[in-house]
Amino acid sequence: MNLHIHVPEGAIPKDGPSAGVTMLTALASVLSGRKVKAGLAMTGEITLRGKVLPVGGIKEKILAARRAGLKQIILCKQNEKDIREINPAYIKGMRFHYVETMNEVVDLALMKGKSRV
């Protein structure tokens, strides 16, 4: 199977690798037949070996997730320091999952159940 992902500039400007974790999670969902859990946000760069790397703009992303009503967020372990810089009142009721690998992301993000692979 060959996969090609094309993310054109289009109407929404994009900068940087922040959607790597999200795109690979979507692919894992499609290929396994397991749904992504609702109410979950995620961001992070991934390496070719499946390591999750930190990204910028965490405060803005967290506040956007809160405005969207998302309660759980998956972030790179190295971005934990960025959360400590946010006023606790803004993130009250949110749960953060800090990960180092895509295996951890998939375990957290996809619903349990039978997989196609």
Q: Which of 14, 18, 29, 114 is catalytic?
A: 18
- Report the C-alpha gap between 4 and 54 in whole angstroms: 24
Has 92 been annotated as catalytic? Answer: no
The three-point CA angle 78-81-82 to 5° equals 100
Has 61 been annotated as catalytic? Answer: yes
The three-point CA angle 100-104-110 to 5° equals 145
- Report the C-alpha gap between 116 and 63 in whole angstroms: 35
Q: Which of 14, 37, 51, 61 is catalytic?
A: 61
Provide the H-helix boundaries in the chain: 20-32, 58-67, 80-84, 102-109
- Catalytically annotated residues: 18, 61
